[in-house]
Amino acid sequence: MSRQAASARWDLLASMVPTGHAPIVDVGADHGHLAARLSDHAEVFATERAPHRAGRSDVRWVIADGLAPFRQVGVAILAGMGAHTIAGILARGPRPAVAVIHVPDDPPTVRTLLAADGWRIDAEGAVAEGSRLAEVIRVVPGQEPHRGAELRWGPLLAKRPPQAALDHWRRQLPRVQAIAAATKGRDPDKHTRASEDAAWLTACLHRAGVPASG
């Protein structure tokens, strides 16, 4: 993904970092462009697993696996990593007061994993990143009240979906409907899940006045 395409996502991530919690740790910061956007905040660290991965020199780097070397963390940013990697880093701790998360490939799985591990979704946002939807999810310790398709696709995103999310859901609906059709009578769990997802997406698109097909 180009720096230009990722720029709106880094802006969204930065805008969802709350004030009043320190330190802020951008885990797997890579180039450091997101950490550099947080210069208004008091204590910001960019981390990478290996020294050769650490990027720009105007941010403070810590070479670390996840959040391991920190005694306590105010905000953990975990972006551009897989759902299980992110859930694992949060589970190993220390548990931050707030986590701001972006999973490129599988936001439904990260929402489900985190809800099961005692995190509640506090805010959500989304922007287009190239041809994909970048979903940013902010979680805090607590009990997540949403379940099923609503939890998987973004319960707070659905309240006021940005156009990019509606476009994404419209693109996803035929894929999900095809899974529901292909698994009927063969894989009841997958069929139930895909049918719920298709119904949820159809309802959201309908509410927003977006035709589900055509």
Ligand X SMILES: C[S@@+](CC[C@H](N)C(=O)[O-])C[C@H]1O[C@@H](n2cnc3c(N)ncnc32)[C@H](O)[C@@H]1O
Binding site for ligand X (CB under 6 A): 6, 27-30, 47-49, 53, 65-66, 79-81, 85, 89
Q: Least separation, in Å, of the C-beta of 180 and ligand X? A: 31
Number of neighbours of residue 142 by Cβ within 10 angstroms: 12
Q: Least separation, in Å, of the C-beta of 160 and ligand X? A: 24
Among all residues, whose Cβ is closest to ligand X? Answer: 28
Burial of 9 (0-12, 13-18, 19+ CB in 10 A): buried
Nearer Cβ to ligand X, position 39 or 192? 39
Q: Least separation, in Å, of the C-beta of 1 and ligand X? A: 8
Nearer Cβ to ligand X, position 49 or 184? 49
Collect all residues with Cβ–Cβ distance below 8 Å to 23 and sequence separation of at least 6. 43, 44, 45, 70, 73, 74, 75
Q: Least separation, in Å, of the C-beta of 185 and ligand X? A: 39
| Number of Cα atoms under 13 Å in the Cβ half of residue 9 | 26
The dihedral built from the CA positions of residue 206, 208, 209 and 212, taken in this order, carries a sign that is: negative
Nearer Cβ to ligand X, position 85 or 172? 85
Sequence letter at residue 16: M
Nearer Cβ to ligand X, position 12 or 79? 79
Nearer Cβ to ligand X, position 94 or 148? 94
Nearer Cβ to ligand X, position 77 or 198? 77
CB 77 within 8 A of CB 18: no
DSSP per-residue letters across 127-160: EEETTEEEEEEEEEES-----HHHHHH-TTTTTS
Q: Least separation, in Å, of the C-beta of 69 and ligand X? A: 11
Q: Least separation, in Å, of the C-beta of 112 and ligand X? A: 20
What strand order describes the sheet that includes 132-141?
61-63, 44-48, 24-27, 75-79, 98-102, 132-141, 119-129
